[in-house]
Amino acid sequence: CIMGKLSSAYRQLTEGVSQLPEPFDSQYHCGALLGSGGFGSVFSGQRLCDGLQVAIKQISRDRVQQWARLPGEVGPVPMEIALLQRLVEVGGHASVVRMLDWFEVEGRGFLLVLERPPHGQDLFDFITERGALPERLALRFFRQIVEGLRFLHAHGVVHRDIKDENIVVDTRTLDVKIIDFGSGAPLKETPYSEFEGTRVYSPPEWIVSQSYEAVPLTVWSLGVLLFDMVCGDIPFERDQDIVGAAPVFTRRVSKECQSLIRWCLSYRPEERPTLEEILSHPWMEGGEAEEEEHSSLPNQSL
C-alpha cells in the first residue's frame, strides 16, 4: 500500500494516541482528473470516513520551485503546503480554499487534500458560459475576493497568481474561493525578483524591470480580473498593452466601476489603491450585492 504522511495539524489532534499514520489510500479515494498544468495535477476525491467530496492535488518533487520547513517535519515541504498550513492554523477564511490534509508518497511526490465546493466552477468557465457579468454579480464576487486577499496578507501570505481560473464559484450560493497557491510566497515589504504567475495578469513593472512589490502586484491583477468580469475578457494580451496601462472598455460599464478598474491599473505602482482603499471605493460601497436569481444567470447574451 502507499504510505502517506499525516499533516502536523492532524498529528496535534491525535497527540498522545498510540497509532501509526494511516496510508493515504485508506483515508481517501482518488477519482477523475479535474485539471493539470505546470503546478501538477488535480483530481476529484472523496474522504472515506464520511463521504466528503474533496480535491486532491498531486505535485511531483521535480516541479517544486520553492521549499519550506514545517515544525516537526524532518524534510522540507513545498512552499504551497507551508502557506496553506499557516492559513489553517489561524482559522482559515470563507473565501480561501482550506487544506484538509497532506501526504508525501514515495514515487508520487506530495498529495494535498483540499476542500471542494459541491457545485464549484472556476470563474473562467463561469464567464465563458455566461459572458460579461452584471455589475451587481461582479461586485458580489469581487468583494469576497478582496476580503480573502486581505486575510492572506494579514497572515503573511501573497498569492501572486490571482486570475479567473484561480477563483472557484459555488454556482448555488454564489460564494467564491481563492485556490491554487502554487505561485504563492511569504509576504514581504521588499521587492520580489521572481514571478511564477500568469503574464497577462502581471503588472508593467514586471514587464519593464522584472521587479514588483506584493500589494501593487495583487491590486494590478485585481484590476485585470474586475475588467474580465464586467467585459467578458481580459484587457491586455501583449506586453506593450500591459505597459500602456490603458484599458479600452468593450461594454457599457458604469463610471464608478471604470474608475476603480483604472485606479487598480495605474501604471505607477505607488498610485494604485490598497486593498482597504478598494473596499471603500464608491463602486464597492454601493450597497451589499444581493444574490442574483438563478434564472438570471445562465447564458447571458453577449
Domain borders along the chain are: 8-115, 120-296
Grade residue 31 by pLDDT with cuts at 50, 70 and 90: very high
122 marked among binding-site residues = yes
pLDDT at residue number 209: 97
Please tell me which residue, 248 or 19, carries the higher pLDDT value. 248
Q: Domain 8-115, CATH 3.40.50.2000 — does that match? A: no
Question: Of 82, 52, 49, 53, whose CA–CA distance to 65 is shortest?
Answer: 82
Query: Using CA atoms, how far apart are residues 10 and 14, in angstroms rounded to an integer?
Result: 6
User: Can you read off the three cell numbers belonging to residue 264?
Assistant: 487598480
Least confident segment among 120-134, 179-193, 278-292: 278-292
Look up residue 90 and give its amino acid.
V
* Active-site residue, selected from the candidate residues 25, 62, 101, 161: 161
Task: Give the Å distances, CA to CA, from 25 to 12, 19, 56.
Answer: 21, 17, 12
Which residues lie below 8 Å from residue 226, measured CB to CB, with a gap of 6+? 138, 142, 257, 260, 261, 264
Residue 35 marked in a binding site: yes
Q: Is 38 annotated as a binding residue?
A: yes
Q: Is 4 a known ligand-binding residue?
A: no
25's enclosing H/E stretch is helix 24-27
pLDDT band, very low/low/confident/very high, at 65 (cuts 50, 70, 90): confident
8 in a known ligand binding site:
no
The CATH code belonging to domain 120-296 is 1.10.510.10
The answer to whether 40 is a known ligand-binding residue is yes
pTM: 0.87
The reported pLDDT for the residue numbered 196 is 87
Q: Any binding-site annotation on 37?
A: yes
- What is the average pLDDT across 276-291? 78
User: Has 25 been annotated as catalytic?
Assistant: no
